[in-house]
């Protein structure tokens, strides 16, 4: 029996098919995964993401600590509420986790980390916090609901009442708090929307209100195809401790300047950058009929050059797409070994689809 | 609840088999199977003239989530396959016992059909899987 979010019983009553996800009993779909995907691209859908872990970091040295801990630099966060995507690395430059960190005050930052990596991450945070007087507190008392899609904010605002007036000017990648709730304009779908953090006892009421506002519940299945189309990595599939951000299409998240910021993993990354990376993460678009899947081999002229890390059917494109880790020198064309056939694929730069439309 | 037509025969791997008047067998996947798989997005059917043994993987159905093998219920030769599925794999979801058929074969042994699981036995199997 997996862990349950505060919305678990509601998912079951809505007819969701439940699956294990990182030790949690989560809805994969409420009916049709493809319909849920289109719902988010074209209108508004919501996801229970309460399995993810919110971690509050408080204390005067919070900023120094995060500048030590993260490959991206929280010094970029000058406005309160602003968010930053970053990897947390080990000394070898391997990715311990990817996360979003919010700057809430000079002595108060909030991170959202992955569900499956929570225990490992918290242990790592506590080791790295040696010498920094910070309070690291996982907020198990919070639930989180993501409302995503071109009409998600408009529909959610109807439910959020007075708070909505304060959200009017909420910028992309900003958080706003209101009483015991916090709303951020972030997500994992490539669409506009909110992620709403709230006390777990209030989660069911809000979920039902959002349902009433015609925001359709969507499962982790649609969340996965949406994020893949949007060109967003999934921890554990597209990267882990065995690869660096440079090998994971996340070079843009490394803040090299200032040169004297000695974050964990910096030396290893710098050495790798100087030597040149041998593998990189690319997008693939399948040109033949079929479906790309995780771990299928990528070939050029019959020689293996890499492997698919995430592959699926992309509902917005009506084609199959993937991320693959391949030799850095790969050209535009490759083949993928699918059962006994080699199918033709094109190497492309993600995203594949965002804001309701295909990008290719 | 799954739809399980009484005139068909079934396998424990969720294929259905229909005996046609000319003695050939039409094969597809059951309503229960399509529900488990979710939205189908790609189907690979066998080519005409290919021989399969009972239990061979003979077709592949892929949902958004995963690829699944279809197993040949009897030994015989493929005499037709449903070409429409190449462009409309969703027929397996919308009409699993009709437009969503996969292929037709001529069994080596004409009595093979009679030895397959009937609707009652299959209903019991589905029930045991659902609980």
What does the pLDDT read at residue A328?
Answer: 98
**What burial class does residue A18 get, using C-beta atoms within 10 Å of its C-beta: 0-12 exposed, 13-18 middle, 19+ buried?**
middle
- Residues 308-327 of chain A whose Cβ lies under 8 A from any Cβ of chain B: 312-313, 315, 320
Q: What is the pLDDT of residue A281?
A: 98
Rounded Cα gap, residues A144 and A198, in angstroms: 6
In this complex, the residue of B39, B42, B67 whose CB is nearest that of residue A32 is B39
The pLDDT value recorded for residue B1 is: 72
CA distance B77 to A26: 43
Q: Give chain B positions within 8 Å (CB) of A312.
A: 64
A291–chain B Cβ distance below 8 A for any pair? yes
At B129, is the pLDDT very low, low, confident or very high (cuts 50, 70, 90)? confident
pLDDT for B2: 86
Nearest Cα residue to A15 out of A223, A217, A189, A247: A217
Spell out the per-residue pLDDT of chain A, length 360, in tens: 799 999 999 999 999 999 999 899 999 999 999 999 999 999 999 999 999 999 999 999 999 999 999 999 999 999 999 999 999 999 999 999 999 999 999 999 999 999 999 999 999 999 999 999 999 999 999 999 999 999 999 999 999 999 999 999 999 999 999 999 999 999 999 999 999 999 999 999 999 999 999 999 999 999 999 999 999 999 999 999 999 999 999 999 999 999 999 999 999 999 999 999 999 999 999 999 999 999 999 999 999 999 999 999 999 999 999 999 999 999 999 999 999 999 999 999 999 999 999 998
- β-pairing, B57-63 vs B40-44, is antiparallel
Q: Among residues of chain B, what percentage have pLDDT more than 90?
A: 95
- Nearest CA to CA, how far is A222 from chain B (Å)? 9
CB contacts, 8 Å: B39 with chain A: 32-34
SS (H, E, C) chain B: CCCCCCCCEECCCCEEEEECCCCCEEEEECHHHHHHHCCEEEEECCCCCCEECCCCEEEEEEECCCEEEEECCCCEEEEEECHHHHCCCCHHHHCCCCCCCCEEEEECCCCHHHHCECHHHHHHHHHHHHC
- Mind listing the pLDDT tens digit for each residue in B50-78? 999 999 999 999 999 899 999 999 999 99
Query: Does B42 contact A33 at a Cβ distance shorter than 8 Å?
Result: no
Name which of B38, B67, B86 is nearest A291 (Cβ-Cβ): B67
Domain covering B9-130, topology: OB fold (Dihydrolipoamide Acetyltransferase, E2P) (2.40.50)
In the beta sheet, which residues pair with residue B68? B61
For B27-43, how does the pLDDT look when each residue is reduced to its tens digit (9 = 90+)?
Answer: 999 999 999 999 999 99
Quick one: average pLDDT of B117-126? 96
Task: Work out the pLDDT band at B114, boundaries 50, 70, 90.
Answer: very high
| Among chain A residues, CA nearest to B94 | A32
Quick check: bond before A351 cis, omega within 30?
yes
Cis-peptide, bond into residue A258, ω within 30° of zero: yes
Cα B92–chain centre separation: 10
Alpha-carbon distance B106 to nearest alpha carbon in chain A (angstroms): 25
Residue of B nearest to A341 (CA): B44
**What was the ipTM of the complex prediction?**
0.89
B67: contact with A, CB 8 A cutoff: yes
Give residue A354's pLDDT: 94
Q: Where is A120: in which H helix or E strand?
A: helix A118-128
Residue A255, min C-alpha distance to chain B (Å) = 36
């Amino acid at each position: 029996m997996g862990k349950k979010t505060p919305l678990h019983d509601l998912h079951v009553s809505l007819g969701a098919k439940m699956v294990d996800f990182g030790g949690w009993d989560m809805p994969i779909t409420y009916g049709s995964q493809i319909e849920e995907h289109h719902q988010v691209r074209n209108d508004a859908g919501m996801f229970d993401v309460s399995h993810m872990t919110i971690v509050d970091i408080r204390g005067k040295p919070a900023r120094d600590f995060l500048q030590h801990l993260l490959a991206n630099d929280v010094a970029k966060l000058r406005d309160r509420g602003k968010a930053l995507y970053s990897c947390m690395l080990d000394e070898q430059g391997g990715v311990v986790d990817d996360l979003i960190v919010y700057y809430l005050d000079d002595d108060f930052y909030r991170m959202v980390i992955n569900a499956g990596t929570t225990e490992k991450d918290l242990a790592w945070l506590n080791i790295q916090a040696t010498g920094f007087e910070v309070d690291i507190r996982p907020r198990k008392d919070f639930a989180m609901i993501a409302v995503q899609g071109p009409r998600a904010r408009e529909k959610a605002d109807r439910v959020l009442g007075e708070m909505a007036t304060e959200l009017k000017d909420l910028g992309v990648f900003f958080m706003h708090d209101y009483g015991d709730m916090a709303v951020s304009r972030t997500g994992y779908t490539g669409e506009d929307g909110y992620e709403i953090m709230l006390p777990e006892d209030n989660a069911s009421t809000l979920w039902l209100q959002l349902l009433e506002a015609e925001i359709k519940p969507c499962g982790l299945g649609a969340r996965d195809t949406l994020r893949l189309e949007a060109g967003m990595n999934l921890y554990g599939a597209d990267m882990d401790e065995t690869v660096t951000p440079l090998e994971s299409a996340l070079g843009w998240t490394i803040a090299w300047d200032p040169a004297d910021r000695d974050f964990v993993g910096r030396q290893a990354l710098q050495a790798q950058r100087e030597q040149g990376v041998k593998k990189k993460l690319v997008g693939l678009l399948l040109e033949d009929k079929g479906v790309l899947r995780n771990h299928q081999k990528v070939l050029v002229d019959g020689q293996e050059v890499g492997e698919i890390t995430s592959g699926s059917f992309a509902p917005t494109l009506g084609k199959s797409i993937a991320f693959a880790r391949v030799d850095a020198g790969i050209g535009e064309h490759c083949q993928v070994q699918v059962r006994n056939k080699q199918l033709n694929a094109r190497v492309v730069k993600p995203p594949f689809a965002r804001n309701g439309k295909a990008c290719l | 609840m799954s739809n399980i037509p009484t005139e068909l025969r079934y396998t424990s791997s969720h294929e259905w088999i229909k005996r046609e008047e000319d003695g050939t067998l039409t094969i597809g996947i059951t309503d229960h199977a399509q529900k488990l798989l979710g939205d189908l997005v790609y189907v690979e059917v066998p080519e005409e003239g290919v021989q399969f043994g009972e239990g061979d993987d003979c077709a592949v159905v892929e949902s958004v989530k995963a690829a699944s093998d279809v197993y040949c219920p009897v030994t015989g030769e493929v005499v037709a396959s449903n070409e429409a599925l190449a462009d409309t794999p969703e027929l397996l979801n919308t009409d699993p016992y009709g437009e969503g058929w996969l292929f037709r074969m001529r069994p080596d042994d004409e009595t093979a059909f009679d030895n397959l699981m009937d609707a009652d036995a299959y209903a019991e199997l589905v029930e045991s899987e659902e609980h």
